[in-house]
Amino acid sequence: MCIRQQGLLQRVFRSRRLYSTTTSSIKPPIHLASEDEGLIPEEENGLEGEDHILGGENNVLEGKNFLVEEEPVPEIILEKEIDTKTLVYEPIKPNFPQLPVPPLAHNLSKVLFQPNVYHQLQDKRTRVYSFPPFLENVVSVDKFDFNKVKAFIPSGRDPVLLEMASDVNKRRNNKNDPESVREKVKYYSSTSSMTGLLSQLHFALSNNKQPKFKDLSLSYSDLPGKKMSFSPGAKTAAVVVLKVRKSRPGLQSVVYSIDADKSTDDDMILSILGNLMETLLITKERDFKRNYVLGKNNKTKGQEEVAGDTYHYAKMGKFLVRSQLDCYDPRLPNTGTFDLKTRAVCSIRVDIDHIQNTQKNRSGYQIIKRLGGFESYEKEKYDLIRSAMLKYSFQARIGNMDGIFVCYHNIEKIFGFEYIPLTDIDELYHHDPNAEEESDIADVLDMHLDGFQTSMSSFVSETEFKVSFKVLEDIIDTIVNDYLVQNGEAECFRMILKAKTEKGRSKLYVLFTPLNHEQVNKIQNQDMLQQELALAKKLQNASKLEDIDLDNIENDRNLQVKLKLHPDFYKAKQNMRKADFQKMNNITSYKAQGFKVSFDHYHDGELQTERFAYPKSRDIDWKVNYTITKLDTETAQRHYKKFMQDKGILQWSQFDSDYTTIVRQYDQIGRLREEFFAAMEDNGKKVVWKPDK
């Protein structure tokens, strides 16, 4: 071993000793669970418990109510029974051609047929690659040509989606068309805008049932209750903006677009990197280097005409929803399509400002083992189940996909891949909490291909999915028809959904407030590029952005990305967004109104009183009764402000904690480890596994 290698190895061991001495008082490290992208650990955010929002105030109010002789009876707005067997998921075939959905490249398709298994890109012990080494080092964002990639189009600005809604309604206006008996489209959206709403409805309908941490080690199964529940990021209120869109001339129907509220959105490296990495996974190495990597022989000046994305369209009741199709393999069941997800390691998700602004989008944190509290696949899967995977499942179900393909990375490097079928995700969130590990003989006789429990989990998931759309439809209809239309304020409005546990039962809070077009534009960043340019010019005048060409930025996505990720600009824009966010909440809260929705489940006519009611078979007569009661004005406005305030806290608050100290130390250890192995591999020869002949 050369002197350089010995020195690097000694530094690695010293770092490990440093970690063991400086963190020995932090017990136990395994329970310090990270949250969703850019969010903070639960124990650090001050929002603990099921009812952290307004928890103290609720206790005070309950005390006051105890002294009152008679509690006021809330006004019932709507009572309804839903027969789950009458709900229909209806795929809508577009009347225009679309590009074929691409397959995976780089021999990654073998991951699809070993699901729920972590496939390392490189074995850390032998240094042998299971996939092309080209995938390991992610091209930096300043070397990728974003002008060659289609930008995301919000559903509210998608003319094709509006045209499809008009076409569906036209056919259903025609009495001679078989479709005329079906409901027309009144609301349209994209999967990314709907998943937050569906998540809150899941919490309410399932009575806040905890996920099942399947196949994780015993060290995770012994965690406290909160650590086995959803993360604060997953449970934060869902906020959307609805706006009337002009339908085709001659049609009387009014349609609304539904888009996720963007008032707390930041241009994080993770969202920008998603486009790059998804392109990498479906493009052959030679084509990727030739078409997407910027260089002397590959430069673009401004945005080019690029191929559009391919979508699946589906209708549930009055909703038309668009779902982007990322990938396809004909050997998979059903449609053969699946979603691509790029998942950053925990150190990045909990410390994103430090990574972006101090580390310049670099991280040394690695995944080097299967089990353990840090640097493990198990840690990432645990965080994924608590945070984002529920939303992933809704996206896959809306798009009629088979599952999701996850790529684990640390911005600079890819570590491995996993394929998770939708049926297995269903088992995580829609399992029977009272079921024994071993099925009895009746279950075995009734077993389906994927097993009785898996089959039941998917049945429950599909049923809840359809019920959620029906409840949401009735909620929005009530807001529009009974409140906003009467006041002439139905053009645009913001809606908030938040499930809260009260006396052991989950209730769904619904808050809404009318908006004018100027407020919508502000919330949805529709004039953001102009605001960014004005801010950038101020910074440039202060000699902070001298290296960015602002004159050509409007038509060049590469320049836009460079600007968004510049530390000085990022910080200035974030401060501007925070001020706008607080101001908008204060302005819009005074007109806020709200409901509370409670649910009851009936199986074969019998009211289910268990906390987590679960059907005994797929043939059960399952009905859901729900009641919408009105919130008084003071309560509605208070909840509106608090839910939005909590959303801002989770997005922007940064905490120096023991947890971030630990992951930053692992970052340093990972860097030293990479230097050591790089020194051992100075010859540059990389070994790739191949089947034996």
Which residues, in sequence order, are CB contacts of 16 under 8 Å at separation 6+? 669
Bridge-based pairing of strands 687-688 and 128-129 is parallel
Pick the closest to residue 197 from 507, 468, 462, 479 (CA basis): 468
| pLDDT top residue among 375 and 151 | 375
Please tell me which of 398-412, 425-439, 445-459, 478-492 the model is most confident about, judged by mean pLDDT: 398-412
Tell the residue number behind the tokens 């036209």, with chain if given.
170
> For residue 211, what are the CA distances in angstroms to 54, 82, 188, 391, 433?
25, 25, 30, 13, 9
Q: What is the pLDDT of residues 212-226, one digit of tens each?
A: 887 787 677 666 666
Which pairs count as long-range contacts for 213-219, CB under 8 Å and 24+ apart, including other chains?
213/382, 213/385, 213/428, 214/424, 214/427, 214/428, 215/116, 216/378, 216/381, 216/382, 217/371, 217/378, 219/30, 219/371, 219/372, 219/373
Would you state the pLDDT for residue 656?
62
Would you state the pLDDT for residue 41?
37
Local confidence band at 530 (pLDDT 50, 70, 90 cut-offs): confident
Query: Per-residue DSSP letters for 294-349?
Result: -BTTB--SS----PPP-EEEEEETTEEEEEE--EE-TTSSTT-EEEEEEEE-HHHH
pLDDT over 80 at 89, yes or no = yes
Local confidence band at 57 (pLDDT 50, 70, 90 cut-offs): very low
| pLDDT top residue among 5 and 148 | 148
Would you state the pLDDT for residue 227?
74
Q: What is the pLDDT of residues 501-514, one digit of tens each?
A: 998 899 999 999 99
Distance CA 460, CA 425 (A): 12
Q: Which residues are registered as beta bridge partners of 82?
A: 624
Q: What is the pLDDT of residues 360-377, one digit of tens each?
A: 888 999 999 999 989 999
Tell the residue number behind the tokens 């998979």, with chain if given.
332
| This prediction's pTM | 0.87
Would you state the pLDDT for residue 454?
64
CA angle at 522 for the pair 187 and 301, rounded to the nearest 5°: 95
Mean pLDDT value across residues 203-211: 95
Bridge-based pairing of strands 593-603 and 238-245 is unpaired
SS3 string, 190-259, reads: EHHHHHHHHHHHHHHHCCCCCCCCCCCCHHHHCCCHHHHCCCHHHHCCEEEEEEEECCCCCCCCCEEEEE
Which pairs count as long-range contacts for 96-100, CB under 8 Å and 24+ apart, including other chains?
96/160, 98/308, 98/310, 98/311, 99/307, 99/308, 99/310, 100/310, 100/328
Pick the closest to residue 472 from 510, 426, 514 (CA basis): 510
pLDDT over 80 at 569, yes or no = yes
Local confidence band at 643 (pLDDT 50, 70, 90 cut-offs): very high
Would you state the pLDDT for residue 8?
46
Distance CA 309, CA 307 (A): 7
Would you state the pLDDT for residue 128?
94
Least confident stretch, 71-85, 150-164, 442-456: 442-456
Would you state the pLDDT for residue 452?
58
Distance CA 41, CA 233 (A): 9
Distance CA 450, CA 456 (A): 10
| pLDDT top residue among 50 and 474 | 474
Local confidence band at 268 (pLDDT 50, 70, 90 cut-offs): confident
Least confident stretch, 14-18, 87-91, 578-582, 681-685: 14-18
Least confident stretch, 144-148, 432-436, 593-597: 432-436
| pLDDT top residue among 128 and 548 | 128
Local confidence band at 266 (pLDDT 50, 70, 90 cut-offs): confident
Local confidence band at 527 (pLDDT 50, 70, 90 cut-offs): confident
Would you state the pLDDT for residue 506?
95
Least confident stretch, 4-8, 184-188, 226-230, 254-258: 4-8
Distance CA 403, CA 157 (A): 28
Cβ atoms of residues 37 and 384 within 8 Å: no
pLDDT over 50 at 661, yes or no = yes
Q: What is the pLDDT of residues 325-364, one digit of tens each?
A: 999 999 999 899 999 999 999 999 989 988 988 888 889 9
Amino acid at 165: A
Q: Which residues are registered as beta bridge partners of 80?
A: 626
Percent of the residues in the chain that have a pLDDT greater than 70, as a whole number: 81
Distance CA 424, CA 454 (A): 7
pLDDT over 70 at 54, yes or no = no
Cα end-to-end span (Å), the chain = 34
Would you state the pLDDT for residue 236?
96
Q: Using CA of residue 23, residue 235, residue 216, residue 384, what is the dihedral sign?
A: negative
pLDDT over 70 at 103, yes or no = yes
Distance CA 364, CA 375 (A): 11
Cβ atoms of residues 243 and 492 within 8 Å: yes
The dihedrals phi and psi of 631, each to the nearest 5 degrees, come to -90, 140
- Cα maximum dimension of the chain: 85
Mean pLDDT value across residues 47-55: 36
Mean pLDDT value across residues 285-309: 77
pLDDT over 50 at 49, yes or no = no
Q: What is the pLDDT of residues 438-486, one digit of tens each?
A: 444 444 554 444 455 668 999 999 999 999 999 999 999 999 998 887 7
Distance CA 349, CA 38 (A): 5
Q: Which residues are registered as beta bridge partners of 85?
A: none
Tokens of 342: 């790029």
Please tell me which of 31-45, 156-170, 240-254, 623-637 the model is most confident about, judged by mean pLDDT: 623-637
Local confidence band at 170 (pLDDT 50, 70, 90 cut-offs): confident
Would you state the pLDDT for residue 182?
74
pLDDT over 90 at 283, yes or no = yes
Asked if the peptide bond before residue 514 counts as cis, ω within 30 degrees of 0, the response is: no
